[in-house]
A and B are shown apart, each in its own frame.
Chain A
Amino acid sequence: MQKGIGPSVYSDGNKPDAGTNRLQAVAQGKDVGAEVHPKVLEETPVLEIDRFNLWYGSKQVIHDISMPIIRKQVTALIGPSGCGKSTLLRSVNRMNDLIQNIRITGDMRLNGDSIYEPRMDVINLRKRMGMVFQKPNPFPMSIFENVVYSLRIDGEKNRSVLDEVCEISLRGAALWDEVKDCLNDSALKLSGGQQQRLCIARAVAAEPEVLLLDEPCSALDPIATGKIEDLIQELRGQYSILMVTHNMQQASRASDYTAFIYLGRLIEYGPTSDIFTNPVLQETESYVTGRFG
Chain B
Amino acid sequence: MNSSRYQRQNVRSPFSSLMAHGEPWVWLMSGSLAVAVTMVIGLLLFITVRGSIHFWPRPLYEITLRNGERCLGEVISRERQLKNISDDQTVHDRVLVRTADFRTDSTRYTWFDQQNISSIQQPQFATVIERFEGGLFHGFPVCLLKDGIPTGDSPEAAWQQYQEISPTIQKRFREANRIDRLRRGDLQKRLRNARLALFDARLKQGNDHPIVEKVKNEEEEISKKVAEISSLLDKKMAALRKANSSWKFEFKTVDGQSVIFPVEEIIQAWQPNNISLLGMSSVYGTRWWEFLSDNPREANSAGGVFPAICGTVSMTMIMAFLVAPFGVLAALYLREYAADNSLTATIRIAINNLAGVPSIVYGAFGLGFFCYGAGGWIDENFFSASLLADNQPTFGTGGLLWASLTLALLTLPVVIVATEEALAAVPNSMREGSYACGGSKWQTIYRIVLPRALPGIMTGVILAMARAAGEVAPLMLVGVKKIALDLPIDTSFPFIHPEREFMHLAYLVYDIGFQSSNSQAAKPMVFTITLLLVTIIAVLNIAAIYLRSRLKRRYALQEF
Residue of B nearest to A139 (CB): B448
Interface residues on B, range: 20 to 34
Question: For residue B554, which residues in chain A have a CB less than 8 angstroms away from its CB?
Answer: 140, 186
Cβ B438 vs Cβ A150 within 8 A: yes
Cβ B433 vs Cβ A153 within 8 A: no
Compute how far the CA of A136 lies from the CA of B559 in the bound complex, rounded to whole angstroms. Answer: 10
Question: For residue B433, which residues in chain A have a CB less than 8 angstroms away from its CB?
Answer: 133, 137-139, 199, 202
CB within 8 Å of B: which A114-156 residues: 123-124, 126-127, 129-131, 133, 135-141, 149-150, 152-154
Cβ B436 vs Cβ A188 within 8 A: no
Question: For residue B434, which residues in chain A have a CB less than 8 angstroms away from its CB?
Answer: 139, 149
Interface pick from B109-117, B424-432, B504-512: B424-432
Question: For residue B452, which residues in chain A have a CB less than 8 angstroms away from its CB?
Answer: 140
Cβ B443 vs Cβ A188 within 8 A: no
Which of B439, B448, B556 has the largest count of A CB atoms less than 10 A from its CB? B439
Q: Is A161 an interface residue (CB 8 A)?
A: no
Compute how far the CA of A47 lies from the CA of B275 in the bound complex, rounded to whole angstroms. Answer: 93
Compute how far the CA of A139 lies from the CA of B557 in the bound complex, rounded to whole angstroms. Answer: 10
Question: For residue A223, which residues in chain B have a CB less than 8 angstroms away from its CB?
Answer: none
Q: Is A25 an interface residue (CB 8 A)?
A: no
Q: How many A-B residue pairs have CB under 8 A?
A: 81
Question: For residue A135, which residues in chain B have a CB less than 8 angstroms away from its CB?
Answer: 429
Question: For residue B443, which residues in chain A have a CB less than 8 angstroms away from its CB?
Answer: 153
Cβ B432 vs Cβ A188 within 8 A: no
Question: For residue B436, which residues in chain A have a CB less than 8 angstroms away from its CB?
Answer: 93, 95, 126, 129-131, 133, 203, 212
Residue of A nearest to B430 (CB): A137
Cβ A123 vs Cβ B440 within 8 A: yes
Given A188-B557, A199-B433, check contact A137 B438 (CB 8 Å).
no
Residue of A nearest to B431 (CB): A98
Cβ B437 vs Cβ A140 within 8 A: no
Q: Is A189 an interface residue (CB 8 A)?
A: yes
Q: Is B435 an interface residue (CB 8 A)?
A: yes
Cβ B438 vs Cβ A188 within 8 A: no
The smallest C-beta distance from B429 to any residue of chain A, in angstroms, reads 4
Q: Is B560 an interface residue (CB 8 A)?
A: yes
Question: For residue B556, which residues in chain A have a CB less than 8 angstroms away from its CB?
Answer: 140, 186, 188-189
CB within 8 Å of A: which B504-560 residues: 554-558, 560
Across the interface, A153 reaches (CB within 8 A) one of B432, B447, B451, B560, namely B447
Q: Is A206 an interface residue (CB 8 A)?
A: yes
Q: Is A192 an interface residue (CB 8 A)?
A: yes
The smallest C-beta distance from B448 to any residue of chain A, in angstroms, reads 5
Across the interface, A137 reaches (CB within 8 A) one of B429, B439, B555, B557, namely B429
The smallest C-beta distance from A139 to any residue of chain B, in angstroms, reads 5
CB within 8 Å of A: which B448-486 residues: 448, 451-452
Given A186-B556, A188-B555, A188-B558, check contact A140 B430 (CB 8 Å).
yes
Which of B438, B443, B558 has the largest count of A CB atoms less than 10 A from its CB? B438
| Interface residues on chain A, number (Cβ under 8 Å) | 35
Which of B430, B434, B436, B555 has the largest count of A CB atoms less than 10 A from its CB? B436
Residue of A nearest to B441 (CB): A123
The smallest C-beta distance from B426 to any residue of chain A, in angstroms, reads 9
Q: Is A2 an interface residue (CB 8 A)?
A: no
Compute how far the CA of A131 lies from the CA of B437 in the bound complex, rounded to whole angstroms. Answer: 7
CB within 8 Å of B: which A22-60 residues: none
The smallest C-beta distance from B428 to any residue of chain A, in angstroms, reads 9
Question: For residue B435, which residues in chain A have a CB less than 8 angstroms away from its CB?
Answer: 95, 98, 126
Question: For residue A199, which residues in chain B have a CB less than 8 angstroms away from its CB?
Answer: 433
Compute how far the CA of A195 lies from the CA of B451 in the bound complex, rounded to whole angstroms. Answer: 19
Question: For residue A124, which residues in chain B have a CB less than 8 angstroms away from its CB?
Answer: 438
Cβ A140 vs Cβ B560 within 8 A: no
Which of A136, A153, A189, A199 has the largest count of B CB atoms less than 10 A from its CB? A153
Cβ B558 vs Cβ A126 within 8 A: no
Cβ B439 vs Cβ A140 within 8 A: no
Question: For residue A129, which residues in chain B have a CB less than 8 angstroms away from its CB?
Answer: 436
Residue of A nearest to B429 (CB): A137
Residue of A nearest to B555 (CB): A140
CB within 8 Å of B: which A226-280 residues: none
Cβ A133 vs Cβ B438 within 8 A: no
Cβ A127 vs Cβ B438 within 8 A: yes
Q: Is A191 an interface residue (CB 8 A)?
A: yes
Compute how far the CA of A136 lies from the CA of B429 in the bound complex, rounded to whole angstroms. Answer: 9
Cβ B438 vs Cβ A153 within 8 A: yes
Which of A135, A188, A191, A219 has the largest count of B CB atoms less than 10 A from its CB? A188
Question: For residue B560, which residues in chain A have a CB less than 8 angstroms away from its CB?
Answer: 136, 191-192, 195, 219
A sample of 11 cross-chain residue pairs with beta-carbon separation below 8 angstroms, ordered by A number, consists of: A124-B438, A133-B436, A137-B429, A137-B430, A139-B447, A140-B448, A140-B451, A140-B452, A153-B437, A189-B556, A189-B558
Given contacts A133-B429, A140-B554, 20 further A-B contacts (CB under 8 A): A95-B435, A126-B435, A130-B436, A131-B436, A133-B433, A136-B560, A137-B430, A139-B433, A139-B434, A141-B451, A149-B434, A153-B439, A188-B556, A188-B557, A189-B556, A191-B560, A192-B560, A203-B436, A203-B437, A219-B560
